[in-house]
Amino acid sequence: MTTGAARLARHDGSIRWVSVPGAGHPVAYLHGLGCSSLASWAGTAARLGRPGVLVDLVGHGRSDRPASFDHSLPEHADAVAVALTASGRAPVDLIAHSLGGSVAVVLADRHPHLLRSLVLVEPGLDPVAVGPDHVAATDEAELAHGGWERLLAREDPERRAEVRTTDPLAFVRGARTVCDALGGSLNDLLSRTRTPTLLIAGHRTYAQWDVLQENGIRCERIAGGGHFVMLEQPARFHRLVEDFTARAHPAPPSPPSTSGRLGAFDGLHDVVARSWPLFGADAPDPETVRGRLRAALGVPLRPTVAEAGLVVHERWTRDGLDGAEVSWEAGFGPRVRGRVLRPAGQAGPLPGALFLHCHGGVKSVGLDKLADGADGRPAHPRVAGIRDGLYGGVASAEDLARRGVHVLVHDGFGWGSRRTPLSALPARSEAQAGHELAVRTARGERLDEAAVYDLHAGPAEDAVAKALGVLGTSWAGMLAREDLLALDLLTADPGVAPGGVGVLGLSGGGARAAITAALAQDEPHLAGAVGAVVVAAMVSTLREALPEHLHCHTWALMTPGLGRVADWPQVVAASAPTPLLVQFAAQDALFPAAGMNRARGVLADAYADAGAPDRFLGTVHDVPHSFGRTQQGEAFDWLARHLPAGRPTDQPDAPPLGGHP
């Protein structure tokens, strides 16, 4: 953050600004009466993440207070034009509040070449709507004789200190200037502007609202917002601004790419976006997101804990761990295989965690990616390669358990014990897999049973998705059903401390963790069951992911209808205020950098709206798509801070699944 200044030719003084770094097209900000741009706009600038200039109007904030400056709207507009030109950032997207909005309307009329677009936030347009009247009516001669203190006394105590930094003459004349005859003409100036303009209202009403819309001005009202709507409803404000500036100046089309073609005619995205709210454009609240999510995924009924009939097949101890091999009924198909891990010898209730495995393009194994069994050896040679590439070369669920956590891992729907037998796969996908198998065999490759299965499972995923869709469910819906059942079983385990368990995962496992945490909130018996969530290398906005990164992902994330639910970060944040850690991998080839950067802002906004900004943490690691040891350490520390303390003992009240009774 740096400061800048430009001399005003007709006055003995300078207009000043603060520059902020970022990526994308520059943004300029103007504040309202008695404010400064840094105080009004620092949060918005951080969320947008774009290079910007936070300009202080003359007589306000850091700018000088020349006695010859009359504080009329044209005088302010010309001074801002000097600042934008000197900053080297023009043309800019200008976001302006209150008095700053009035100045911006005149600026767009007098200096349109400096602007790309205009966002007016609660501007003073109609004389009847502006104020406060007592400020405009103040006799300037009285300001030095107690008048200024009387004006300050009428300000909100939270704003009084900021208003005090304003030049008293600037304060009074600024209020007066939007109440004079020129203020009445602002609607006319705005109606004829050629600068793409968005008007955002909080509590103000505008007499010419319909007329402005007829003249091409986009007018939006944010429910629950007051005059400082950008501070009171930051998430909705942020999304409106991003959506408007993106539509006003769409990015040039990307060149064709064999890996990034959408598979549809150009223009489909725009048609759909005009047809219904796409990617959370209607700023749905978390409860609405969760309801839409459950409907879109199609989550079938699942067995109760009693109906699941959990069985402990084997207990073992090794390498500082007590473990148990378990299974349970899912209501159809083979039993779900699970594994419980605990620190050896600790029999009392401990913090719990449901650790969900990734997709990884390997369905022959599921939970074995995260933990070994009684012999301490990977279940298949492929597991070692998966761990080396994705999990820092370790059985990460075991490391979490050694930290004093009761951990459950299980095979997700379609993986390991729950994988679809080859005999049930449709002929169409089998033909594709058979061709690939023939090619690889001809090359002299020797494939074992697991490799052959995974070769078939890839093309079969599309065919299974079609069948699930016809039945009204989806891959993500079936995974959620069985993950929620695992959560039921984990929270019912006497070895787990009450007060909420952690849910975590990498990649597809991270998507499953976010969905499980969201859906659990609306099930009465699971209220409070999730105490913290970790999503590793699995979050980006959807708009930026299309089309280049869409086909990098499987049906476990890309559920039909997901775009009508919300944007993906809004889904991830739908369990707010549950503590949430999202880890981004800067070298992640599966997600665009712009989408990951924007997602951090959406997540932060969601938790701010939930009144729990300190319960969200977004971190960036300079690694490829993975959940390595550094990320694991950060994640496990996050869980330790937010999960309830355990009560380890040598003599439990009831035997935990993973310990010896």
Q: Which residue's structure tokens are 């550094």? A: 630
Domain boundary residue among 248, 272, 306? 248
Query: What is d(CA 525, CA 547) in angstroms, rounded to the nearest whole number?
Result: 40
For residue 444, tell me if it sits in a domain: yes
Rg (CA), the chain: 29
| Number of Cβ within a 10 Å radius of residue 4 | 18
- Residue 579, token pair as written in the block: 């503590």
Q: Which residue's structure tokens are 């976010």? A: 514
For residue 649, tell me if it sits in a domain: no
Q: Which of the pair, 262 or 625, is modelled with greater confidence?
A: 625
Q: Give the pLDDT score at 509.
A: 96
Q: Which residue's structure tokens are 């103007």? A: 30
Domain boundary residue among 207, 227, 248? 248
For residue 656, tell me if it sits in a domain: no
Q: Give the pLDDT score at 335.
A: 97
Q: Are residues 206 and 328 in the same domain?
A: no
What is the arithmetic mean of pLDDT over 457-486? 91
Q: Are residues 501 and 587 in the same domain?
A: yes
Q: Which of the pair, 545 or 405, is modelled with greater confidence?
A: 405
Please provide the size of the chain in residues. Answer: 661
For residue 284, tell me if it sits in a domain: no
What is the arithmetic mean of pLDDT over 363-374? 95
For residue 399, tell me if it sits in a domain: yes
- 519 sits in which H/E element: helix 508-520
Tell me if the bond preceding 547 is cis, omega within 30° of 0.
yes
Residue 178 has pLDDT above 80, yes or no: no
For residue 483, tell me if it sits in a domain: yes
Residue 540 has pLDDT above 90, yes or no: yes
Q: Are residues 205 and 311 in the same domain?
A: no
Query: What is d(CA 540, CA 310) in angstroms, rounded to the nearest whole number?
Result: 37
Range of the domain at 452: 297-642
Q: Are residues 603 and 500 in the same domain?
A: yes
Q: Give the pLDDT score at 593.
A: 86
For residue 267, tell me if it sits in a domain: no
Q: Are residues 433 and 496 in the same domain?
A: yes
| Residue-wise pLDDT tens digits, 301-341 | 999 999 999 999 999 999 999 999 999 999 999 999 999 99
Q: Are residues 393 and 464 in the same domain?
A: yes
Mean of all residue pLDDT scores within the chain: 87
Contact 535, 603 (CB under 8 A): no
Q: Give the pLDDT score at 168.
A: 83
Residue 548 has pLDDT above 80, yes or no: no
| Interacting residues of 130 by C-beta distance below 8 A, sequence separation 6+ | 124, 175, 178, 179, 183
In terms of Cα–Cα distance, which of 658, 605, 646 is closest to 235? 605
Q: Are residues 206 and 313 in the same domain?
A: no
Local confidence band at 76 (pLDDT 50, 70, 90 cut-offs): very high
- 323 sits in which H/E element: strand 321-328
| Interacting residues of 533 by C-beta distance below 8 A, sequence separation 6+ | 502, 503, 504, 513, 514, 517, 575, 578, 579, 580, 581
Instruction: For residue 123, give the CATH number of its domain.
Output: 3.40.50.1820
Question: pTM score > 0.75 for this model?
Answer: no
- Residue 398, token pair as written in the block: 């075991």
- Residue 201, token pair as written in the block: 């209202």
Phi first, then psi, for residue 279 (nearest 5°) are 55, 40
| Maximum average pLDDT range among 20-34, 401-415, 647-661 | 401-415
Q: Angle CA(91)–CA(95)–CA(96) in degrees, nearest 5?
A: 120
Q: Which of the pair, 258 or 358, is modelled with greater confidence?
A: 358
Query: What is d(CA 546, CA 259) in angstroms, rounded to the nearest whole number?
Result: 11
Query: What is d(CA 533, CA 445) in angstroms, rounded to the nearest whole number?
Result: 41
Q: How many domains does the chain contain in total?
A: 2
Dihedral of alpha carbons 357, 361, 365, 371, sign: negative
Domain boundary residue among 189, 218, 248? 248
Phi first, then psi, for residue 221 (nearest 5°) are -115, 130
What is the arithmetic mean of pLDDT over 141-156? 72
For residue 278, tell me if it sits in a domain: no
Q: Are residues 236 and 334 in the same domain?
A: no
Q: Are residues 310 and 201 in the same domain?
A: no
Q: Are residues 455 and 539 in the same domain?
A: yes
Q: Are residues 310 and 229 in the same domain?
A: no
Residue 353 has pLDDT above 90, yes or no: yes
Q: Are residues 437 and 586 in the same domain?
A: yes
SS3 453: helix
Distances (CA, A) of 595 to 23, 401, 625, 649, 653: 12, 33, 15, 47, 49
Residue 650 has pLDDT above 70, yes or no: no
